[in-house]
Structure 1
Amino acid sequence: MRLFERAEAVRASAPLRWGLAAGAFAVALATRFAVDHLLPAGFPYLTFFPAVILTTFFAGTRPGLACAAACGLSAWFWFIAPFESFAVNPFVLVALGFYVCIIWVDVVLIHVLHAAVIELKEEKVRSNALLESQKLLLADQKERERQRRILQRELSHRMKNTLAMVQAVVSQSLRNASDPAKAAELASARIMALARAQDALTATSWSAAEVVDIVEASVAPHDEGGRFEISGPSVRLEAQRSLGLALAIHELATNATKYGALSNTSGFVSIRWDLSGSDGFRFVWAESGGPAIGEPPRSGFGSRLTLRVVPNYFAGSAIADYARDGLTYTLTGTRGSPEAEESGH
C-alpha cells in the first residue's frame, strides 16, 4: 500500500506528475540509444514500455498517455525502419498497432487497479463510519437503559413516599374523628392538598418545586377576593418538604376558614418566607382581622401535623402563636437540596 500512497502524493502535484512523465521519457529514450547496438532488429519499444507503465502508475492516466505518445513517436522515428522518418508501410503499421494495443492494455489495467484501491479506501472509511455509528447507537442504547432503570427506581421511591404519606393522613384522620363521614371528608381534603403539591412537583420532574408554586396551589381553593398576601424569594424545596409544606398550608387554611381570619369578610392572611445562612429556611403564616381566637383545648391531628410532623421533614421546629388578632404559625428548618435527595435514593 505504500506504493499507492506514494503514487497519490505524486498525482496530487502537477509539477511532479508532468516532471515524472518527462523524466521517464528522457531516461527511456537515452537508454534505448545506449543499448541500440546490443539489440537485434524488432525491439523498438523495449525501454519505452517500462517508462509508460511507471508514469501511468505514479503520475496518472494523462501523463502516462503523454509519455506513451512521446515514446511511440520516438520509436517510430529512430528505431523502426526506415530510420529517422515517419514513413508508413505494412511493417510500420504492424509495429505501431502492437505498441498501441500493449500500451492501451497497460494503461487500462493500471487505471482499474487505482480505481479499485480508491474504492477499497472509501469502503474502509464507510466501514469505520458505520462501526463508529454502531458504537454510538450501542452507547446510546445503554444510556437509555440506564436512564430507564433510574426512572423505575425513582418512580418506585416516589410512589412509596406518597403512599406512606397518604396512609398516615388517612389513618390519623380516621383515628381522631368520631364521625366516619367527617373523617372521610378530612382525609379527602388532605389528599387533594397532596395532589396539588404533586402537580407542582410534576412540572419539575419531581426534582424540586418552588415555594411560591406550592403556596399558590394550596391556597387557591380558599382565596376569594384576594385575601392572601404572598411574598418571599425564589426557593426550591425537595419533594418531601414540598409535600409537607402543602399539607401544613392546607391545615392552616382549613382552620382559618372555620375559625380564623377567613371565617369572616374582613380577615386577611400574610404568607411569607425567607432564607438564612447556606440552608436555613423560615415560613410564616400570619392571620389578622379575624375573630378573637384562643389556643384549642385539645391537640388534634391537624395540630400534630403542623407542629410535629411537617417540622420533621424540614429538620426543624414550628410554633403556633394564638394571638387575639389571629394565628401566627412559624416553621423554621432547612430547605434541603434536590441533589441530596437524589443521591439518597
Structure 2
Amino acid sequence: MTTRWGILATGKIAHTFARDLDLVPDAELVAVGSRRAESAAAFTAEHGGTPYGSYEELVADPAVDVVYVATPHALHLENARLCFEAGKHVLCEKPLTLDAAAAEEMVRLARQHDRFLMEAMWTACHPAVLALRDRLRSGELGTPRHLHAELGFRVDAPPEDRMLNPALGASALLDMGIYPLAFADLMLGEAVDLHATAALSADGIDLDVAMVGRYPGDVLATMTASMTSWSSRRASIATDLGRIEVDDFHHPSRTTFTPYVQAPGDWVFEPGATTEITHDPVVGQGYAHEIVEVGRCLEAGLRESPAVPHARTLAVLRQMDAVREQVGVRFPTAQG
C-alpha cells in the first residue's frame, strides 16, 4: 500500500519532512498547499507533487490520503479541522495544539470523522530512542533514579516571527521543552508531579524554562529548554548500576551505558567499560520513521498510533499547561 501525502504549509520543517518522505518506499508526496501559490510552486519544484495556492484546494484533492500539518502551533486545530471535514487523515506537528483543551477537541474531531490522527512526535518512532527504552525496561541497565535532558538554541528573529510572536504560540516550552518532557515520558512513564520556573520576555513568553518532575517509582527528572542559549542537547539517565548517555537526544546517533563497578576500598566505585546501545539504522533526519508508522497504521485501519497514542499526547500537553500556569504564561489564542 502506498500512502499518498499532502503537506499543508511550506516552512522549514515541511522541507525537512519532504526530504525524508522521499526516502520511504511506500510513501508518495502528491500535493502541497500554501497560502501563497508561488510558495507552493517553489516547494513542489524542489520536492514534487501538485502545488495549491490554498489549504482548501489541497484537502479537496482526491489523490491525498493523509495531510501533514506544518503550520505554527496556534493554527493546528483549525487546519486539522479542515482536513478532517474533507475526509483526510492527519499527522500534525508538535505540539498538537497550544493546550490540552484544544487537543482534546482535535481528538474529538478525528473520532467524529473517523479519521487517523497522530502528533508528529517523531522521537517516539526513532530507532535509537526505542532501543534505549526497551533496554531500560528490561532491567539490564539497572533501575533508573534520575533523568536529565536539555534542549536549547539562540533564536535571532524579528518579533513577528512565530518563534517570538505570542499570537502564534511562541514559547521555549512548546518548541523545545516538549522534547525533554516527551523523552522523560517515554523512558519513565507519566509524570506524577511537575514544578517549573522560567524567564519571560517583555511580551510574556517563556524564553528559558527549567522543570523538575517526579515519575513513577519516585524517579526524578530535571529538564530545561531555552531560546536564548546553546544547550548540550544531551540526555542522561542515572541508574543504580551505572549511567546512560545520549549524545543528542533531539537527533540521537549514539547512546552508551557505563556500569560502575566495585573498586578496592570501602564505598569506592569506578566506571567500567562503556558499551554502545545498538539500534536499527536511522533513515534520513529521523522523520522517515514517523512516516512509516503512519503508513503502517493506515494500512492496518487504525485511527491512532500505538507508538504515539492520543493519551500520551494529551498527558504531555497537560503537563505543559501546568508549567505555563506555574510560570505565568498565557497565550491569547489558547483555550485553557
Quick check: TM above 0.5?
no
- Greater fraction of residues in helix: 1
Question: Which entry has the higher C-alpha Rg, 1 or 2?
Answer: 1
RCO higher in 1 or 2 (8 Å CA, sep ≥ 6)?
2
Give the structure-1-normalised TM-score.
0.22
Give the structure-2-normalised TM-score.
0.23
